[in-house]
Structure 1
């Protein structure tokens, strides 16, 4: 499919979410973005060693990392990047990176009826999303402009060469403690909100894992989705994709791991040190067979 074909198809379905539109069209999401290369879509260097130090200048922004079953969104500043460790340890945003997967980068400016949306979007060699940075009302728009000019590539073609998608290896949970039912994930989120338990929630893909550290407050189901809808943190999880749910690790500090039908990790949840005792107590009430509260 040519870039012109993509643009014509998009014109017929302008409101469909980009990821859903690309999937329905049978193309990579990055190919959709690249098809609109021009004044509002600029191809930029994607390497995190170049991008993230400049992203710190944006001030307040929204970090978004997803896989096929979960999306994690966090407001904060892109501070504390350590290039040697390939990790970002900010007060609110924590990212663990695999820089080899940061291949294609775009700066996108999208005028809408209400406001102009600006974002930085990173994709891997196959064109799958690795990480996105969305500007907010508090972000520094001038810094965004400087970043774009600093990272602008000479090649601004609307055609994006993509590699075949590499199979993502299945995860084998280590030190299995108990297998839980899929419903246990929603139960643990709801109970953590009710009891004020500080969590660490990790959602990732081969190129980036984003970790939220803190309490969850508002847990809202919507069909097969379970959502955390807090002022500075959102989590969207497809519960119908939960094929295996395990408690793993040491019994003193158990971790919940959720896998999809192909054995790929969807998300991981454990407790912050200050909430470990409450977390241990809560997971201890789960029945081994069903993964729901024990009636004992």
Structure 2
């Protein structure tokens, strides 16, 4: 039996939508002063949502592994400032208790499974008809990842997989207050010479995070301290400008957008760039991105050494100094960075 407060939350949600019309779940939850997961939990009252069980040892890992062979789906990963939607198939899935990878060109994910606390299957009527999704949330009730079947999904297999994960006796979820964003220590406490030496010694860009941890330095703090030959600020409009130049040049790129539980990556050319109010959008057939350009408080060009030469990224940070968007030129292991990508970034003036 559902908790009385869940029923009351659903009634408040109904009143809100009657007053303001259809809303994104995250926006409706914000209006109600609750987390998105708590709103989805309340939708169980109408039967629109059903809780998924979470394995005590591997979380939702086996469910994601079961997505292999089901055909095309649409994966959505977002944060407060940007949304990444990619159509493709699950393949080459490797998930441990804490970390996981989906290494397919179309669906490419870095998963932090220990952050996935709650999951639901949702069926709702929208303007285009009945929409089904799997939605996953962290302990604070923030969305970490969503999966939508498409007309090219094997629905019989998809539905059978999901049915095996439905929790018939869920207790009311208990969300936690989100952890505060980490605060950088004083610049004077950082051994900048040692930081630069370790930066120069990198042979793989994946060593970057370990280096930050070793020196107890924040990401943007490291960019400020390492030296302008390795990292420098560019105008905040650089994200829009680089997307437009890459589309014009038909240059294949890699676009990373993520949150505490998942990072989603698009690799390939981008074509249709469109601004709508404060949003800059990529509206391609298999890849959609929506980013609040006005939320870019800092934009940086970052150069990291690797065994294949320098790898350069364009990174966007919000007003709190948190990274929420990264873009690279497409690059495979053993290949040097695309000169066309470097040419685009060289066209950006320094801020």
Both proteins in one fold, TM over 0.5: yes
* Counterpart Cα distance in 2 of 1:57 and 1:152: 20
* Counterpart Cα distance in 2 of 1:127 and 1:60: 27
State the match for 2:248 in structure 1.
194
- Aligned to 1:148, which of 154, 162, 167? 162
Q: Is the 8 A contact 1:253 1:276 kept in 2?
A: no
Q: Is the 8 A contact 2:117 2:137 kept in 1?
A: yes
1:163 partner SS: coil
Unaligned runs of 5+ in 1: 290-296
- Aligned to 2:102, which of 84, 88, 108? 88
2:304 partner SS: coil
* Bigger shift: residues 47-56 or 166-175: 166-175
1:86 partner SS: strand
* Counterpart Cα distance in 2 of 1:193 and 1:112: 32
**When you count helix as a share of all residues, which structure comes out higher?**
2
1:249 partner SS: strand
State the match for 1:65 in structure 2.
77
2:319 pairs with 1:265: no
* Counterpart Cα distance in 2 of 1:100 and 1:178: 34
2:148 pairs with 1:134: yes
- Aligned to 2:23, which of 16, 22, 41? 16
* Counterpart Cα distance in 2 of 1:243 and 1:23: 23
Q: CA deviation digits over 1:227-256, x for unaligned, max 9? A: 000000001000111011101123832111
* Counterpart Cα distance in 1 of 2:111 and 2:294: 27
Q: CA deviation digits over 1:10-46, x for unaligned, max 9? A: 2123311111000111100000001122643111135
State the match for 1:169 in structure 2.
182
Q: CA deviation digits over 1:208-228, x for unaligned, max 9? A: 000111111011001111000
2:153 partner SS: coil
* Counterpart Cα distance in 1 of 2:128 and 2:101: 35
Count of residue correspondences: 288
Given the two structures, how large is their TM-score scaled by the length of structure 2? 0.78
1:106 partner SS: strand
- Aligned to 1:5, which of 4, 8, 14? 8
Alignment of 1:72-111 (within 5 A): 72-84=84-96, 86-111=100-125
2:32 pairs with 1:33: no
- Aligned to 1:232, which of 286, 291, 297? 286
* Counterpart Cα distance in 1 of 2:113 and 2:278: 33
Q: CA deviation digits over 1:178-228, x for unaligned, max 9? A: 101111111100000000111111000010000111111011001111000
* Bigger shift: residues 11-20 or 199-208: 11-20
Q: Is the 8 A contact 1:253 1:280 kept in 2?
A: no
Shift of 1:2: 2.1
Given the two structures, how large is their TM-score scaled by the length of structure 1? 0.91
State the match for 2:314 in structure 1.
256
State the match for 1:282 in structure 2.
344
Q: Is the 8 A contact 1:203 1:266 kept in 2?
A: yes
Q: Is the 8 A contact 1:37 1:156 kept in 2?
A: no
2:67 partner SS: helix
Q: CA deviation digits over 1:80-108, x for unaligned, max 9? A: 11124511011301000111111100011
Higher relative contact order (CA closer than 8 Å, sequence separation 6+):
1
Shift of 1:151: 1.1
* Counterpart Cα distance in 1 of 2:292 and 2:248: 22
Q: Is the 8 A contact 2:133 2:148 kept in 1?
A: yes
1:16 partner SS: coil
